[in-house]
Structure 1
């Protein structure tokens, strides 16, 4: 029995040992080289690996943008700030041509009335898009290390009017230089090639139009554009380079009550080839700061994923266009979707006035959920212990029968 447990623990240690090689992360720079930028237009942190360099680019000006850029060049990037402000093609360049670019953009939030209590946004007539550019943002670099850096983004104004203290959009964006699991529910896995975005809509009760202010059953959603520089798999027909799928699990050890893991991956990731990229999240949205499953709803993704056709003004001024340029509209490069927060009888947004969405973005193949060492040991004990008890019982019975047989034979051959 002890030998079985030792084998399980050693196997778990081998799995850890063969994780991705670590990266050393640079301190995040907010608007590097721009003296006139008051808002966090561009935040950069770089992970230096053994064979390549990984750039994390984040921004909260005009449109929320989150990119992972992989290349073999050094850590330096060049920004033409005038071109970036004007929405000029490829205003951000790198020391060498990136081998892979993956990311997503949130150009606007969606407030929608849901009188049928469907939960998801389905193109309801009573809806209003709120551009991200209507908000003013601040950035705070949090204490960091060579294997973990984080930046907190937060709204301060809406349409140039200060927001009440409790009204805000809060995001903590983290990059990692080693394998592990987030300490915050839903405890997503992370790798040296990934970052994590934790979004909170806290008391987001805005004074919008008179019609929108009259809606009684409102929910929040947001437009999302997901893009990748790699749009095909060799030998595949068509240009469907981004796919959604759900990974099921029998274990909810790390995220109580949630047994699925949703993923949006590009061609390289779902084919487990080189140059892949992914978004990965648990289908749970907490409705309170303590993140109790008793108060939770779900993020609903529109999985039809129509291709991006037109570049709107927010997209032209986003980091996606600054890096990708007009390639964003090439076939299979970018798709559009809507993520909305809600499910039947969750009380709508007004019930708790708090909604979260936590998503990981990374380069390569997304990490796969497996049983932890503790769970494996417990399962192994559940199998080994009964088997050992059964074996010991069989041995005891065999010994007793042998002794009984031996004593009976002795009695038969004893002389009178």
Structure 2
């Protein structure tokens, strides 16, 4: 009898687990996600210009279009333009585009369809000697690497991914690389930090590989500049979570947004997890925290002079800049592996938010629901046994 009860309990638990998992999948999988039709073109309307490339990825939705433009003429720059029509196009006047003193070389037409535009310029790489292992930038800062002066490779295309690597005269046996990915629908990369992306975002991976540091205790910073129009990215919000399922040990995400428009679906964002990795195949023991400085207003002219794409598209842009520093006090220095990678999302609308996976939700449901079900079943069994015992003690009438 006891054996049968145990088997019954196990069967009930399995049935409940299967039901909870199925229910969570149906509720949280979201069905078919929103998709865009993506096409990629290299150097639109012309041949490969000397010294770099211009990539145009066009992502068409139901009634709008996103234009992602990635340029290596000068400092690497990603420009995102959102239009309210599916027929908007990019026009490049290469004579004006290649002239560093003339704006207007790149336009998105019709110009009246443009809802929003913003760009991210990877302007400088900074290195400092952390002699006292405090991870504080002091006077031991070396002369910066100006990325506009790098020699950049041609863009290496593969489907909706483009890779770019550059070297400087002062680099020894190493390079700085960037990889842009554009997406048709929602998903996430398998390698950490496994950022959640949507069809409204692109992803940029940055890594420093094999560069000989200028000191044995070197740490690095990356300077970014956000260049835009009506809604410049001027503040960083930090959102915390109790879930580190997709990026182990990391419980927060940083979002560079417009303070005026941060609560609206209109506008754009730059989003990242505050973690970098010291090896090309990320593992938990190779994770290193990163920090950001507060955005500060910068010269729009300086951004335009460092990037041909900024000069070609904007006339009087609003510019804010910040630094992302890699490593905290007590963390290994760059020289330990001579590798450092960091990943960031750039998109429009609301930034994607991580949520518990269906499996985790099912486990939580089982963990919380099973004790309640057992209590209820126990109560029912007790009541049934009492009723059966009471009925067995009653004398039956004798006919």
Instruction: Please classify the TM superposition score into its range, dividing by the shorter chain length.
Output: 0.7 to 0.9
SS in 1 for 2:77: strand
Distance 2:23 2:156 in 1: 43
CA drift at 1:362: 0.4
Residue 192 of structure 1, aligned match among 182, 188, 199: 199
Question: Could you say which residue in structure 1 is the equivalent of 2:57?
Answer: 45
Distance 1:316 1:295 in 2: 33
Question: Could you say which residue in structure 2 is the equivalent of 1:221?
Answer: 221
Distance 1:374 1:353 in 2: 37
Question: Could you say which residue in structure 1 is the equivalent of 2:249?
Answer: 257
Q: Determine whether 1:10 maps to 2:44.
A: no
CA drift at 1:408: 2.5
Is contact 1:62-1:107 (8 Å) kept? no
Distance 1:353 1:370 in 2: 34
- Greater shift, 133-142 or 244-253, is seen at 133-142
SS in 1 for 2:98: helix
SS in 1 for 2:382: helix
Task: Output one character per residue of 1:49-105: Cα deviation in whole Å (capped at 9) or x when no partner.
Answer: 111111001122211111211113535311222322222223210112221012210
CA drift at 1:289: 1.5
Q: Determine whether 1:395 maps to 2:380.
A: yes
Distance 1:335 1:38 in 2: 29
Q: Closer, same or farther in 2 for the Cα pair 1:5/1:294, shift >3 Å? A: closer
Give the root-mean-square deviation of aligned CA atoms: 2.4
Is contact 2:148-2:306 (8 Å) kept? no
Question: Could you say which residue in structure 2 is the equivalent of 1:55?
Answer: 67
Distance 2:280 2:388 in 1: 67
Task: Output one character per residue of 1:273-297: Cα deviation in whole Å (capped at 9) or x when no partner.
Answer: 32x1011111110001121121121
Aligned ranges 1:3-402 → 2 under 5 Å:
4-13=20-29, 15-17=30-32, 19=33, 21-27=34-40, 29-35=41-47, 37-73=49-85, 74-87=87-100, 88-97=102-111, 98-120=114-136, 122=137, 124-144=139-159, 149-155=160-166, 157-159=167-169, 164=173, 167-205=174-212, 213=214, 215-231=215-231, 242-267=234-259, 270-274=262-266, 276-303=267-294, 305-309=295-299, 311-312=301-302, 315-326=305-316, 328=317, 333-402=318-387
Task: Output one character per residue of 1:159-199: Cα deviation in whole Å (capped at 9) or x when no partner.
Answer: 3x9963xx121222100011111222111011111100111
Q: Closer, same or farther in 2 for the Cα pair 1:141/1:255, shift >3 Å? A: same
CA drift at 1:401: 1.2
Unaligned ranges ≥5, structure 2: 1-15
CA drift at 1:315: 3.8
Unaligned ranges ≥5, structure 1: 207-212, 233-240
CA drift at 1:16: 4.1
Is contact 1:297-1:342 (8 Å) kept? yes
Distance 2:296 2:58 in 1: 32
Q: Closer, same or farther in 2 for the Cα pair 1:111/1:261, shift >3 Å? A: same
SS in 2 for 1:174: strand
SS in 1 for 2:393: helix
Query: Could you state the TM-score of these two structures normalised by the residue count of structure 2?
Result: 0.87
Is contact 2:223-2:322 (8 Å) kept? yes
Distance 1:280 1:302 in 2: 14
Distance 2:94 2:209 in 1: 32
